Amino acid sequence: MSSGINHTGWACPICDQNKITSHLMTRVGGIGAYCGNGHTFNDMEQLKNSHPRTLPVPKPIPKPQEGHEEIRVSVPSKVRQDLQAKFGNTLPENVGAVLRAVVDPRTIIVSGLDVQQIESWTKLTILDAGTLKGAIYSLTMDLKQAKENLASLEATRNGKGITVNLDGLEEAIQQRADMWGITNSEVVKQITDMGIKNGWV
């Protein structure tokens, strides 16, 4: 808002009739009130007696911090409304934080569709960057444990097949079987195949 312009806290009654919300403002040294759509009201007392709809007075836009600069961006009205609904009065600070993150060359953006696919693959709920990082860490630890368990499995030949001592791994194998949609024996076979091909054992 420019210096010397103040919000009255009222909506323009003419705009209201057209179902348009427009703040009435006054200018220091000026006469009456006006809205951004060109409607003017020179008699403030008459305007007050007409009981115009009240509106919350917008907070003044803070001056940029030292070393900061303002930039103007244009977004669809729906995006603007969604941003305002999500961040409220902290919208400028949050937009600034997002822009600072975007310029980091290591920053990646994961779309909502990608999140849905990750959740379908891992059977985990991804709420934000923290839970995504936690899910990756958990899966990494599971893989590490699987490698260690694979290296320590005691296998003895039993005819044409192999009997494997799972040593308390039944629950973990069952979880992988449910996740991958295969049987427990197929899980053990796939892990064994991966271990041999990747030189884990």
Same domain, 136 and 186: yes
15 lies in the same domain as 42: yes
pTM of the model: 0.39
84 within some domain = yes
Q: Say yes or no: 81 and 129 in one domain.
A: no
What are the distances in angstroms from CA 74 to CA 23, 58, 80?
21, 20, 9
Average of per-residue pLDDT across 99-108: 86
pLDDT tens for each residue of 45-101: 898 899 999 988 776 666 667 777 878 888 888 888 888 888 887 888 888 888 888
Q: How confident is the model at residue 10 (pLDDT cuts 50, 70, 90)?
A: very high
Domain-embedded: residue 154: yes
Task: Provide the pLDDT confidence category of residue 155 given band limits of 50, 70 and 90.
Answer: very low
Split into its structural domains, the chain has a count of 3
Whether 158 shows a pLDDT value over 50: the answer reads: no
- In this structure, which amino acid lies at residue 128? D
State the residue range of the domain holding 147.
115-197
Is residue 187 within 8 Å of residue 173, measured between CB atoms? yes
Taking the C-alpha atoms of residue 70 and residue 150, their distance in angstroms, rounded to an integer, is: 57
Side by side, which strands form the sheet with 40-41?
5-11, 23-27, 33-35, 40-41
Q: Supply the pLDDT for residue 153.
A: 57
pLDDT of residue 167: 66
Q: Are residues 123 and 151 in the same domain?
A: yes
Is 92 contained in some domain? yes
Q: Higher model confidence: residue 155 or residue 92?
A: 92
Classify residue 38 by its DSSP letter: S
Strands 33-35 and 5-11: unpaired
- In a domain, residue 78? The reply is yes
**Does one domain contain both 90 and 136?**
no
Residue 124 has phi, psi (to 5 degrees) of -110, 155
> So what's the pLDDT on residue 201?
56
Res 182: pLDDT: 83
What is the predicted pLDDT for the residue at 165? 65
Are 20 and 93 contained in the same domain? no
Which of 75, 107, 139 is the C-terminal boundary of a domain? 107
Domain annotation covers residue 54:
no
Same domain, 121 and 193: yes
Single-letter amino acid, residue 133: K
Q: Are residues 91 and 128 in the same domain?
A: no
- Do 155 and 87 share a structural domain? no
Question: Is residue 56 one of the residues assigned to a domain?
Answer: no
Residue 165 within any structural domain of the chain: yes
pLDDT of residue 62: 64
Model pLDDT for residues 124-154, shown as the tens digit of each residue: 888 888 888 888 888 888 888 887 777 665 4
